[in-house]
Amino acid sequence: MTSSLQNDCFLRALLREPVERTPVWMMRQAGRYLPEYRRVRQQAGSFLDLCTTPELACEVTIQPLDRYPLDAAILFSDILTIPHAMGLGLTFAEGEGPRFAHPVRTAADIQRLAVPDPEGELRYVMDAVRLIRKTLAGRVPLIGFAGSPWTLACYMVEGAGSRDFAKVKGLMYDQPRLMHQLLDVLADSVAAYLNAQIAAGAQAIMLFDTWGGVLSAEDYREFSLAYAAKVRAALPKEADGRRVPTVLFTKGGGQWLEAMADSGYDALGVDWTTPLNEARARVGGKVALQGNMDPVALYASPETIRAKVKAILEQYGQGSGHVFNLGHGILPDVDPAHAGAMIAAVHEYSPAFHKA
């Protein structure tokens, strides 16, 4: 699927190659803050129907690119597609988030799990990737993604979101071998899923480890990072004649950046709690960094947003290896004009940090 990219700034920055300016995109950039997204979401009938209809997933993936000069598109999907394909009965209740009718709690539950066929049960995701690549026509790269094995396990064992993660941590502490068995099948599933996304046309990959930060340092390495590394080892270095960069994002994982930098990924997502200059010094040029404006800063005035953008660019400093992003996803009631102010400020201020 060769198509020349008109803008490959994002891919080059992830590989720490020279760029003319800092590329920018936003986590959850296709989402509820956009009125055009809300219209399509209403048309779809439900969030799950939106995710599982390739034409609609393609439409909302492209929407933010039509509105803003972003440097990457990210596949519109959900991190819970894999457990959904495993038959756990996923639903999304309005205002309550995801729920599973059949949580995974016992050895028998785990033994029943099988790696879903990416071109079978998850064909709708691959069809969406193919359609988005065709529709983008080389405008910007397409990011594919998945939830990390640990994060998927959290939802599958808890059966929903959680404040204390008592059930999943209870299983981890009491029956570690069983937890490793669950994480193994999830790592195999995530690797197969991401490889299929790359084959369908994804040009960069992001692994969202949303709940890695709820673990102790020792448990993070054993139950989260080890499986993220296993996924990375199963992905190709190249596809379609060029490198496929990979990004690992552990929310709340700033204390483990050194270990994360050794896990095989090309870049690390950094949330807003870790200063970028500190993160850059700690990873020592091994990986690129993505982030890290506090999403809540987008409620501030456009003038304040511009000042925050400039401060973050100054914090990272001169040279490539930085992708500007929020420190987590954009919030649903942010004014779209404020997101635009952030993106415009990155375009305006960042070339000064890339002068030879």
For the chain, list the domains and their CATH numbers.
9-354 (3.20.20.210)
d(CA 333, CA 321) in angstroms, rounded, equals: 31
Position 3 scores a pLDDT of 57
Active-site annotation holds for 155 = yes
d(CA 146, CA 96) in angstroms, rounded, equals: 21
Burial class (CB in 10 A: 0-12, 13-18, 19+), 97: exposed
d(CA 16, CA 30) in angstroms, rounded, equals: 26
d(CA 326, CA 138) in angstroms, rounded, equals: 24
Active-site annotation holds for 32 = yes
Active-site annotation holds for 66 = no
Active-site annotation holds for 49 = no
Considering the candidates 28, 38, 123, 221, report the single residue annotated as catalytic. 28
d(CA 231, CA 48) in angstroms, rounded, equals: 25
Position 2 scores a pLDDT of 47
d(CA 273, CA 271) in angstroms, rounded, equals: 6
Is residue 228 a contact partner of residue 149, using CB atoms and an 8 Å limit? yes
Report whether 210 belongs to an annotated binding site.
yes
Position 4 scores a pLDDT of 85
Considering the candidates 41, 133, 280, 306, report the single residue annotated as catalytic. 41
d(CA 243, CA 23) in angstroms, rounded, equals: 17
Return phi, psi of residue 188, to 5°: -65, -40
Considering the candidates 32, 99, 123, 221, report the single residue annotated as catalytic. 32
Record the tokens describing residue 69, joined without a space: 């000069």
d(CA 265, CA 247) in angstroms, rounded, equals: 6
With a cut of 50, list the residues of the chain below it in pLDDT: 1-2
Considering the candidates 68, 155, 220, 227, report the single residue annotated as catalytic. 155
Residue 209, phi-psi category: left (phi > 0), alpha (psi -120 to 50), beta (remainder): beta
Give bridge partners of residue 324 from the DSSP assignment: 24, 291
d(CA 322, CA 12) in angstroms, rounded, equals: 10
Considering the candidates 8, 71, 78, 219, report the single residue annotated as catalytic. 78
Active-site annotation holds for 41 = yes
**How many Cβ atoms are within 10 Å of 318's Cβ, its own excluded?**
10
d(CA 276, CA 187) in angstroms, rounded, equals: 29
Report whether 78 belongs to an annotated binding site.
yes
Position 170 scores a pLDDT of 97
Tell me how long the chain is.
356
Report whether 16 belongs to an annotated binding site.
no
d(CA 172, CA 153) in angstroms, rounded, equals: 10
Report whether 29 belongs to an annotated binding site.
yes
Position 97 scores a pLDDT of 87
Report whether 63 belongs to an annotated binding site.
no
Report whether 21 belongs to an annotated binding site.
no
